[in-house]
Amino acid sequence: MNDTLQNWLTQQIGQLHEEHLYKKPRILEGPAGGRVMMDGKSVINLSSNNYLGLANHPKVKQAALESIEKWGVGAGAVRWIGGTMSVHDELEERLAKFKKVDAVLVFTGGFTANSGCIPAVVTKDDVIISDELNHASIIDGVRLSAASYKKSEGWVYEHKNMDMLEDCLKRASGFAKRMIITDGVFSMDGDIAPLPEIVALAEKYDAFVMVDDAHASGVLGKNGAGTASHFDLYGRVDIQLGTLSKALGVIGGYIAGSKPLKEWLINRGRPYLFSTAHPPMVAAALIAALDVMENDPEPMQKLWDNTRKWKAMLADAGFDTMGSETPITPILFGDEKAAQAAEKLLWEEGVYALAIVYPTVAKGKARLRTMPNATHTDEDLNDALQAFIRVRDKIGVSV
Ligand SMILES: *Cc1c(COP(=O)(O)O)cnc(C)c1O
């Protein structure tokens, strides 16, 4: 072992502890659901992205089991080397129909879909214009590219500020291509990107749009088809990213767009080119998850019923949910220490929700991030609300 490395690691970790930024996952002792066994305790889970309960839906589990019998458990290789299994192609065809696009390419995660797609579609002659609250995986994808993208050079606009976006586009006329990239649903605030305005500006200034629908997939639009569907912008968003890991309940990410986009990414998307395909059971489970989403409206209705209920209950009790419009419901505590204390007290009360503090969000905007989903009962939501009220009474809310 190299002492220089080991000492550096120990020192860095110590610093994380000091700054209260050290993360240690709790142990989930059963399936992801509304009420779960975690670290030996039964808690209401308000931190899961399993929006529709598909991660343990009987039809989805059955499809995975049958697929193991038929295909085994591994794909064996990268798709262009080892051959692509027909079940992987079938999933992409189903996704393309679902999204009403010409073609879809699946990556092993949403994160890798961003890092595969973004650097592949721009060169050093291009510019990428980003919303300041874009997800970390978008930021990493952008950094891997040869394009201009830096905030210090004026290519990052304030959150949803369309005047600033227009100003960026005006300054970007000298580049060969202009790319605008945004989350569809912002993962910490739960608000929705103004996609109609973004698309209109892109069309005016000859730019193309990429939207990351990780938190919109299965949540917004027809049967959960995402923000382009929600705003009826079919055919006007060049690149849509969706995850298969959140509402779809399994794992993976995909890029939806034109046939040439798919062909290009098969040839130039590095995580596609150099990383093994999903196990076939993943593709089979995802096809079953899509079947449920397209044929059973109930999980999405329940998700939105619970979302509306939860936001209304919190508002009645005087909590500030920061204008969130989707299941992602931040509850403002303001002060960093108050939010971290609230997280601990809620855990003691049997509620699992995480404090999100600076630097993930702005100073003084510390919050508890909560997400109701289709598997929560009225009792779960009521119990969680009572716990929030008791915790607020104990520590106070500073904003
Ligand atoms: C979660 C998330 C991702 C990553 O998706 P995975 O499938 O979990 O890798 C990408 N973008 C956004 C906005 C996300 O919230």
- Please name the residue whose Cα sits nearest to atom 6 of ligand 1: 110
Please tell me the distance from the alpha carbon of residue 351 to that of residue 113, in angstroms, as a whole number.
Answer: 33
- Please name the residue whose Cα sits nearest to atom 12 of ligand 1: 214
Which pLDDT score is estimated for 389? Answer: 96
Return the bridge partners of 35, or none.
Answer: 44
Ligand 1 site, residue 278, Cβ cutoff 6 A: no
Global pTM value: 0.96
Which pLDDT score is estimated for 398? Answer: 61
Low-confidence ranges of the chain (pLDDT < 50): none
Per annotation, catalytic residue among 246, 302, 311, 365:
246
Please tell me the distance from the alpha carbon of residue 351 to that of residue 353, in angstroms, as a whole number.
Answer: 6
Residue pLDDT, tens place only, 71-122: 999 999 999 998 899 999 999 999 999 999 999 999 999 999 999 999 999 9
Please tell me the distance from the alpha carbon of residue 259 to that of residue 279, in angstroms, as a whole number.
Answer: 24
User: Can 17 be counted among the known catalytic residues?
Assistant: no
Please tell me the distance from the alpha carbon of residue 103 to that of residue 155, in angstroms, as a whole number.
Answer: 29
Q: Which fold has domain 58-295?
A: Aspartate Aminotransferase; domain 2 (3.40.640)
Ligand 1 site, residue 214, Cβ cutoff 6 A: yes
Which pLDDT score is estimated for 94? Answer: 98
183 φ, ψ to 5°? Answer: -65, 145
Ligand 1 site, residue 111, Cβ cutoff 6 A: yes
Give me the helix-helix angle, 378-395 and 336-348, nearest 10°. 130
Domain ranges across the chain: 20-51+297-395, 58-295
CATH number of 20-51+297-395: 3.90.1150.10
CA distances from 333 to 320, 341, 369, 398 (A): 8, 10, 10, 6
